[in-house]
Amino acid sequence: MSVRFQLVIDCADPDRLARFWAAALGYELAPPPAGFASWNDFYRDLGLPEEELIDGADRISDPDGHGPTIWFHVVPEAKIVKNRLHLDLHASGDRADPIETRRSRVDAEAARLAGLGATITGALDEEGLDHYAVGMRDPEGNEFDIN
């Protein structure tokens, strides 16, 4: 039996990352649980102190209900080292499509996400491989790939 999970991303600015990743993944800002006007009302009900509440969004969800919820958790320390876990966003299409077509789709998605605040770190391709990807960083420096 599969286990439900949520992905947690440590960050300095949850609202900024929530909005970036919602646009990147086709997610939406997660609505608060039933019976609560806001997530902060829910967090208060859990007993979270006021100084730990944030202004803005801190979680996103798949509007179709298939993907995991992603929660952006405020931490005081900055990101220093490479992620041990990263997302691979699939934008290239089917492997039966010509590599030039797949490359064009990946580059277009990389450009779109760069327009939302991501940084392109470089193409990930090797001579002779029928594969193309672009390495990127989100607005807080978390690595991810588009393939």
CB atoms within 10 A of CB 10: 17
Sequence spans of domains, the chain: 6-74, 87-146
Per residue of the chain (147 residues), give pLDDT as tens: 888 899 999 999 999 999 999 999 999 999 999 999 999 999 999 999 999 899 899 999 999 999 999 999 999 888 888 888 899 999 999 999 999 999 999 999 999 999 999 999 999 877 767 889 999 999 999 999 999
Of 115, 119, 116, nearest to 145 by C-alpha is: 119
Adjacent-strand bridge partners of 120: 136
- pTM comes to 0.90
> Topology of domain 87-146, per CATH?
3.30.720
Adjacent-strand bridge partners of 28: 61
**The two three-digit tokens of residue 10, written as one number:** 């440590």
Report in angstroms the alpha-carbon separations of 79 from 9, 76, 92. Answer: 11, 10, 29
**The two three-digit tokens of residue 131, written as one number:** 């594969």
